């Protein structure tokens, strides 16, 4: 019905940022949705700590990549006129840390990016974090996959590239 208000897709979202190419896509989508529905957004970057370090060691605060990831998110949010809360944490594994932090922040949605990458042999690779979050998060999950690179899109079969030659016989 025209004029019927649409329920907000979320009230508080956590943006899981990894320092990759999908981060700007995740932040822009989160900010667009937050602005439209007056929601709160938290940008979260998790620094993975290997087993050679103790979790109590302060590894994250001196990490320039981590600081630049959160600075980028704040810059995008500023352009959208959105107040963005940022969190930098360190953990042994990204997936459980993201799910736990979202629950602690009482987020009702998690947005995270999925880079377009392939394994040796050509199979699409989804990694470990996305399946973990999809399986274990109590909040809703929005996955933002980066576009297929133009060189790979051109190599797709015609049916997948959007052009078909008619019904198969």
Q: How far is CA 26 from CA 38, 112, 141, 143, in A?
A: 17, 6, 12, 8
pTM exceeds 0.85, yes or no: no
Q: Which two tokens stand for residue 137?
A: 């998060």
9 vs 13 pLDDT, higher one? 13
Between CA 81 and CA 35 the distance in angstroms is: 8
Radius of gyration of the chain (CA): 18
pLDDT higher than 80, residue 122:
no
Tens digit of each residue's pLDDT (9 = 90 or more) over 22-49: 999 999 999 999 999 899 999 999 988 8
Q: How far is CA 119 from CA 124, 125, 127, 130, in A?
A: 6, 6, 10, 16
Tens digit of each residue's pLDDT (9 = 90 or more) over 70-97: 999 999 999 999 999 999 998 999 999 9
Q: Give residue 163's pLDDT.
A: 44
Q: What domains sit in the chain, N to C, each tagged with a CATH number?
A: 14-160 (3.40.50.620)
- HEC letters along 48-98: ECCCCCCCCCCCCCCCHHHHHHHHHHHHHHHHHCCCEEEEEEEECCHHHHH
- Number of Cβ within 10 Å of residue 100's Cβ equals 14
């Amino acid at each position: 019905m025209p004029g019927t208000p649409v329920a907000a897709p979320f009230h508080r979202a956590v943006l899981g940022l990894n320092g990759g190419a999908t981060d700007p896509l995740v932040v822009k989508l989160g900010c667009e949705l937050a602005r439209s529905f007056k929601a709160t957004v938290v940008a979260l970057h998790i620094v993975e700590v290997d087993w050679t370090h103790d979790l109590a060691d302060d590894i994250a605060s001196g990490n320039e990549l981590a600081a630049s990831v959160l600075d980028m998110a704040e810059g995008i949010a500023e352009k959208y006129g959105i107040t963005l809360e940022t969190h930098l944490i360190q953990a042994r594994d990204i997936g459980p840390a993201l799910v736990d932090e979202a629950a602690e922040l009482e987020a009702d949605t998690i947005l995270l990016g999925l880079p377009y990458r392939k394994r040796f042999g050509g199979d699409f690779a989804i990694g470990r974090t996305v399946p973990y979050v999809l399986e274990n998060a109590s909040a809703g999950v929005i996955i933002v996959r980066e576009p297929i690179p133009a060189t790979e899109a051109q190599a797709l079969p015609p049916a997948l590239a959007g052009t078909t030659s008619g019904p198969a016989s």
